[in-house]
Amino acid sequence: MKQLWAPWRMEFITSDKKSGGCVFCDLPKETQDKKNLIIHRATKVFVILNKFPYNLGHMMVVPFEHTHEFNKLSTEQLVEMTSEAQKVVDVLSEVYKPDGFNMGMNLGQAAGAGIKDHLHWHVVPRWNGDTNFMPVLGETKGMPEHLQTCFEKCFEVYRRKK
């Protein structure tokens, strides 16, 4: 039998999810972007590597403003979010050469939002055949590369594309 190791998942499983703070507000206030997996800071939004990804390279584009109301985002916020999402697709295409992408927002808990009070745009690279029996039957997903290695690769390419 082969073993899959994903020790970073335990941090999520055992974390206090009702601490009252907002991870998307708190992390950008810190100055440890590498530790916090923040790939890029723009004027109105930032790009962060998902710490608990669906697939390797799963990034999110997040407004600095704490809001869950998509309809209340300014035109400037929407334009910058879209521009940064395009860069994320470009970076991930260069670094990992996926066969496609899932992109979207889960607005509200009923829609599947894990962080329902601060909207964010998911960009998830996909490869032909990346869904097999493991996640479907075993509820297990193997990640082929460490998050910090993924961060380093994407950060370097993102920096070149500014």
The set of catalytic residues is 120
- DSSP string covering 110-139, please? GGT-SSTTS--EEEEEE-TT---HHHHHS-
C-alpha separations of 35 from 68, 76, 79, 148 in Å? 26, 28, 28, 8
- Alpha-carbon distance of 19 to 29, in angstroms, equals 17
Phi, psi angle pair for 63, to nearest 5°: -70, 145
State both tokens at 28. Answer: 């950008």
Say which residue the tokens 């999402």 belong to. Answer: 85
Chain-centre distance for alpha carbon 51: 7
